[in-house]
Amino acid sequence: DAGITQSPRHKVTETGTPVTLRCHQTENHRYMYWYRQDPGHGLRLIHYSYGVKDTDKGEVSDGYSVSRSKTEDFLLTLESATSSQTSVYFCAIRGGGSYNEQFFGPGTRLTVL
Amino acid sequence: AQSVTQLGSHVSVSEGALVLLRCNYSSSVPPYLFWYVQYPNQGLQLLLKYTTGATLVKGINGFEAEFKKSETSFHLTKPSAHMSDAAEYFCAVSAQSRRGGNKLTFGTGTQLKVEL
């Protein structure tokens, strides 16, 4: 158990509203990631963080922003949600080993109506 | 750029039969390769990983995978399927990012169904 929690676990919102998803970890890992999972696409990287206040874009970052003001929390924000952002969102951390394996949270299912 | 191809979005086997899930990768550098499993309504769980050294990698739940550089493959196998193996399986390749952390590129997944 990598000590990762995500909140909320489920959310339904309407097009145009802002949404923030939270990822919280308890083990002081430096690297954190946000992915989205969609049928037929597997998981795709949205943004990642390599330290407090240090973030970078992934392959599907348009329409998303992130923030990391402390080590344990990594926030994903949809400034103005669209139906194409309906998805399951997973947070991950890079483990402490030397082989770059990542460990995943339980996911947040977001529906944008 | 890295990429992963998983052949077969759905695979069905009988209980007790061999499980073979296929993964081919593309990487410009020696890859780190991973298999993850996802049970319904859960996050991804690491099954096994290839880094360097032995090309046959053993993982949890009786799964193993063989790294074949000449074929750019990392197929997942299990000698005898169990009903509890029914899940979605993802192959992933790791690339070092310019910021020091790694990025995972995933395949599109293979849904494994196990029938009595």
Task: Please state the rounded mean pLDDT for residues B32-47.
Answer: 93
Confidence (pLDDT) at B68: 93
Is the CB of residue B111 less than 8 Å from the CB of residue B10? yes
Chain A residue numbers touching B10 (CB-CB < 8 A): none
DSSP β-bridge partners for residue A37? A43, A88
Which segments of A42-109 does DSSP mark as H helices, in order? none
Confidence (pLDDT) at A101: 86
Chain A residue numbers touching B43 (CB-CB < 8 A): 90, 104-107
For chain B, what is the radius of gyration of the CA atoms? 14
DSSP β-bridge partners for residue B44? B38
Confidence (pLDDT) at B97: 67
> Which string of DSSP letters, residue by residue, matches chain B?
--EEEEE-SEEEEETTSPEEEEEEEE-SSPPEEEEEEE-TTS-EEEEEEE-SS-SEEE-GGG-EEEEETTTTEEEEEESS--GGG-EEEEEEEEEE-TTSSEEEEE---EEEEEE-
Specify which of A25-34, A73-82, B35-44 reaches the highest per-range mean pLDDT: A73-82
pLDDT of B2 over the 90 cut: no
pLDDT of A97 over the 60 cut: yes
pLDDT of B41 over the 90 cut: no
Q: Work out the pLDDT band at B31, boundaries 50, 70, 90.
A: confident
DSSP β-bridge partners for residue A66? A76
Q: Work out the pLDDT band at B12, boundaries 50, 70, 90.
A: very high
Confidence (pLDDT) at B94: 87
Confidence (pLDDT) at B102: 78
Instruction: Choose, out of B103, B105, B108, B111, the residue to mutate when testing the contact with A (most A CBs < 10 Å).
Output: B103
What are the pLDDT digits (tens) for B71-101? 999 999 999 999 999 999 999 998 776 666 7
The residue of chain B with its CA nearest to that of A5 is B43
Confidence (pLDDT) at A1: 57
Confidence (pLDDT) at B103: 85
What is the 8-class DSSP label of residue A47? E
Please give the C-alpha separations between residue A53 and each of A70, B11, B29, B112, B115, in angstroms, as whole numbers: 8, 43, 29, 40, 49
Task: Please state the rounded mean pLDDT for residues B111-115.
Answer: 97
Query: A109: exposed, middle or buried (C-beta count within 10 Å: 0-12, 13-18, 19+)?
Result: middle
Task: Please state the rounded mean pLDDT for residues A77-101.
Answer: 89
- Chain-wide mean pLDDT for chain B? 92
User: Which of A30-44, A95-109, B51-65, B101-115 has the least mean pLDDT?
Assistant: A95-109
Chain A residue numbers touching B32 (CB-CB < 8 A): 99-100
Cβ–Cβ below 8 Å for B104 and A56: no
Structure tokens that stand for B22 in this block: 């296929």
- Chain-wide mean pLDDT for chain A? 93
pLDDT of A16 over the 90 cut: yes
